[in-house]
Amino acid sequence: MAADYVEYDKRHGRVEERSYWWVADPEFTRYLAQDYGWPDVQMCGRVVRKRRTLQATAWAEVEELIVIYGSRQVALPTPEQCSHWLREHWEIENRVFWVLDMTYSEDRNHARKVALPLSKLRCLALNVIRHRDYRYVPDGHRAAAARADRGLAWLGTFEH
């Protein structure tokens, strides 16, 4: 079956193809509302992402995701709108959570009793560095570490 929407990206030395299938089935949404307590589900989707380097001819990586879309809006979005919203979600995920994991090794933290406060401190540090207009978080870390008084002084520069 042909995809409802297909998009291609050519960045970072690779080619990526994303194919989307979306289904809006009233019977299925009633089932999800009754049996699982998900009253606002309107559509379900399938995404197949394929990646390869620019030089390769075969897809090196193929990933499949199942997506559920829910909203209280009456009108159903188009497949392009759903695909765009899904891409925006991953942009936020990559901009925040990936950086926290790579910079602060958040996924390896096993301090269960203090995990939430430490996570909040790491998010605060990330926001302070971004507020100072550092393009790369490690550059902000180095700048703060270069002078002991700089990091604390940065906390006082936020405008409300």
Work out the angle between the directed axes of helices 137-146 and 148-155 (0-180°, nearest 10): 120
Q: Is the pLDDT of residue 160 over 50?
A: no
Cα–Cα distance for residue pair 114/85, rounded to 1 Å = 34
Q: Which two tokens stand for residue 45?
A: 């989707």
Q: Provide the domain count of the chain.
A: 1
Residue 29 in any domain: the answer is yes
CA distances 2 to 19, 27, 47, 80, Å, are: 9, 23, 12, 15
Pull the structure tokens for residue 76. Answer: 């159903």
**Is residue 91 assigned to a domain?**
no
Q: Which domain range does residue 34 map to? A: 1-76
Query: Does 132 reside within a domain?
Result: no
Assigned domain for 130 exists: no
For the chain, percent of residues with pLDDT exceeding 90: 20
The overall average pLDDT reported for the chain is 82
On whether residue 139 sits in a domain, the answer given is no
CA distances from 159 to 136, 149, 155 (A): 22, 19, 10
pLDDT digits (tens, 9 = 90+) for 122-148: 888 888 888 888 888 888 888 888 887
Task: Average the pLDDT over 22-33 and give the result.
Answer: 86
Q: 142 in a domain, yes or no?
A: no
Whether 158 has a pLDDT exceeding 70, the answer reads no
Q: Is the pLDDT of residue 153 over 70?
A: yes
Rounded CA-CA distance 119/121 in Å is 5
Q: With respect to residue 135, please indicate whether it lies within any of the assigned structural domains.
A: no
Is residue 143 in a domain?
no
SS3 105: coil
Q: What pTM value is reported for the model?
A: 0.58
Task: Give me the pLDDT at residue 87, please.
Answer: 80
